[in-house]
Amino acid sequence: MKPSRIELEEAGLFRYRIRKSINSDMRTDGLLFLSPELLASFRADESPSQVANVATLPGIVGNSLAMPDVHWGYGFPIGGVAAFDRETGVISPGGVGYDINCGVNLTRTSLTMSEIKPQIEKLINTIFARVPAGVGRGGGLQITKPDFDKMLESGAQWATRRGVATAEDVAHMEDGGCLSWANPDKVSARARERGFDQVGTLGAGNHFIELQVVQQIFDEKVAAAFGLFENQVCIMCHSGSRGFGYQVCTEYLPMMDKAAQKYGISLPDRQLACAPLTSSEGESYLAAMACAANFAFVNRLALRRGAMDSIADVLGFDTDSERCGFGLVYDVCHNIAKFEKHTVDGKQKTVCVHRKGATRSLPAGHPDVPLAYRHVGQPVLIPGDMGRASWVLVGTESAMTESFGSAPHGAGRLLSRHQGAKLMRGEDVREKLEKQGIIVQARSRATLAEEQPDVYKNVDEVVRVAEGAGLARLVARLKPLGGIKG
């Protein structure tokens, strides 16, 4: 990947701008939330060009945005955010990604570090044995084919009927764990075939289930509202829509490519294939995308349930007992496009917000924040790598005006998987983490090499920029104790 030559100018604290004057096709500026430390890696690939390319799409409102964890992706950069007018704008699968609704959930417990420390290795091994993980792995939650479509339609509500989640869990999920406009008729038989046996499976790459401990609290009031305290053990699950979402994206990209030509949309990059939001093609993709998002919501709930059952079994408790004290803090989407109300040029309007490698960040009082948290704001979950930390933040008013209510979704990749494999062998990664007191399991040693901490940016720096730019506010830092990878 060649370094970008696009000119950036400083635009305030942790802000850089790409002026639309550099390209006559750009309809708006690019605005990047970065520190000088993160700027070097941003310039190292073509993601600045991708930010500029997104700014050429019809109906874009506000700026073409890049979060602090930004890096090169398909069409949109990963860490890219853009909003489009409902009537004149477009929907682009490249602005959502192949892994539709890849996201994270965080579960608190009543357990403390001292209580589980002697059992960490056994806990990780038990989760690893119970939860199917890896490329193409099936054998997760058993579902009949007629029931599969019901799951695609109702998401987390379906999970409550199967006993995988509770009504309280659903109340602590983005959009209640269901995008209501899902329509299984817009999903192919091939996509169903790929996804049918993958609900409750982890997948490979950067997906994980981790045991973490709350290392430090930065905001006592908000932490208390989220049910977090120092030395508390938590579970974090990171996964998405597996082969199902990948197939949905794969099949709709050629349709969108034809639609762009049909509607006379000129594209600087064919990976930005798109269709008007009001077109039949655009509406069909949104309906299929919502099915994949609902799949992912259920998948994370099933993974979480597998981890909770494993912990309860090892410790000799009932999963639903007060002694375990399991409670879903929140579940957030990372790769999604949704209609939301935002203020644009002083007027409130409905826009379609694409977040690709970005998470929602809503302030106190916002009607889409769960009732239990509405007095403080929405939890913002930012996972890091296997060896450093993950963060809980809370949404802010300034995120609404600066980034369409968006914040970074993680550390952001610094090196490719191929480059990571050359840095250190998988077994050496495992041994290095064990010396730090972190137990990891993976289906292959190659995964450990490709996902080692050094292939990621420092999540603490990403979070520092997010807070400094006003995109979210610090609540708690969580340290990994151990985890599983596909």
Would you name the residues annotated as active-site residues? 409
Q: Which has the closest alpha carbon to 485: 246, 100, 138, 127?
A: 127
Instruction: Give the 3-state secondary structure of residue 169.
Output: helix
| Cβ proximity of 67 and 100 under 8 Å | no
Q: Which residues, other chains included, contact 397 with Cβ-Cβ below 8 Å and sequence gap of 6+?
A: 363
Q: Is 246 left (phi over 0), alpha (psi -120 to 50) or beta?
A: alpha
User: What are the two backbone dihedrals, phi and then psi, of residue 167, each rounded to the nearest 5 degrees?
Assistant: -60, -35
- What is the distance between the alpha carbons of residues 102 and 359, in angstroms, rounded to a whole number? 10
Q: Scanning the structure block, which residue is given the tokens 């406009």?
A: 181
User: Pairing between strand 473-485 and 439-442?
Assistant: parallel
Give every CB contact of residue 240 below 8 A, 6+ residues apart in sequence. Answer: 99, 100, 101, 102, 103, 203, 207, 296, 299, 334, 335
Residue 84 CB contacts under 8 Å (≥ 6 apart), including other chains: 57, 58, 59, 60, 61, 90, 91, 277, 351, 352, 354
Structure tokens at 131: 């939860």
CA-CA distance, 315 to 307, in Å (whole number)? 12
What is the secondary structure of 339-363 as a DSSP string? EEEEEETTEEEEEEEEEESEEE-PB
Q: Which residues lie below 8 Å from residue 385, measured CB to CB, with a gap of 6+?
A: 411, 451, 452, 453, 455, 456, 459
Q: φ, ψ for residue 466 (rounded to 5)?
A: -60, -45
Residue 432: DSSP 8-state: H
**CB-side exposure of 222: number of CA atoms within 13 Å?**
21
> Rounded to an integer, what distance in angstroms lies between the CA atom of residue 161 and that of residue 154?
11
Range list of H helices, 133-279: 145-154, 156-161, 167-171, 189-195, 220-226, 242-262
